[in-house]
């Protein structure tokens, strides 16, 4: 059994029930091989789930699809981790800039800890930051719903 057959067998072992694999094809626009697995048809008007593996050759594309089907994490963290790192850096840089404008100095150690705690809270799913409306009374009024001017739908009359 050659490497291509072994990779293809691994993909078929990893497939969930009622899924099927399409052919391995070369995409000249991306200069890469790709192979796609399709899930069962979910119903009328809904698209099936699709998982695609790509690579520089057929075997790499099949192995990538196998890893994706099995949920194997990428060793380098992938693009998402890089994006998160850049967003954290930009958030801290923005806090530093805001401190320079408002206080005329950089962040203190306590302020930096609070900023980093906010980032950690946002990553864990909490809000981590004060309400966006703190400095905006009109937004605070809308959040609280206590304003008489807040828009409310009119009740409809039935005939």
Domain-wise residue ranges, the chain: 3-70, 78-129
| Contacts of residue 12, Cβ cutoff 8 Å, sequence gap at least 6 | 21
At the top level of CATH, which class does the domain 3-70 belong to? alpha beta
Query: Which pLDDT does position 115 carry in this prediction?
Result: 82
Q: Using the CB atoms, write b or e for 71-98: b if 16+ within 10 Å.
A: eeeeeeeeeeeeeeeeebeeebeebbee
Query: Which pLDDT does position 37 carry in this prediction?
Result: 93
Per DSSP bridges, beta strands 50-55 and 25-27 are unpaired
d(CA 84, CA 72): 20
E-strand spans in the chain? 20-21, 25-27, 32-38, 50-55
Query: Which pLDDT does position 137 carry in this prediction?
Result: 42
Reported as a pLDDT band with limits 50, 70 and 90, residue 113 is confident
User: For the whole prediction, is pTM greater than 0.75?
Assistant: no
Reported as a pLDDT band with limits 50, 70 and 90, residue 98 is confident
Report CA torsion sign: 122, 70, 18, 52. positive
């Amino acid at each position: 059994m050659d490497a291509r057959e072994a990779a293809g067998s691994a993909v078929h072992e990893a497939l969930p029930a009622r899924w099927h694999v399409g052919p391995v094809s070369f995409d000249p626009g991306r200069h890469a091989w790709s192979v796609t697995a399709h899930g069962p048809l979910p119903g009328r008007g809904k698209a099936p789930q699709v998982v695609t593996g790509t690579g520089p050759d057929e075997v790499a594309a099949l192995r990538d699809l196998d890893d994706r089907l099995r949920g194997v994490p990428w060793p380098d963290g992938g693009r998402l981790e890089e994006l998160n790192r850049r967003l954290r850096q930009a958030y801290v840089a923005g806090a530093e800039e805001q401190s320079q404008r408002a206080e005329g100095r950089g962040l203190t150690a306590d302020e930096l800890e609070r900023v980093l705690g906010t980032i950690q809270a946002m990553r864990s799913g909490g809000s981590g930051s004060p309400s966006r409306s703190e400095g905006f009374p009109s937004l605070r009024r809308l959040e609280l719903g206590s304003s008489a001017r807040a828009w409310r739908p009119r009740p409809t009359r039935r005939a």
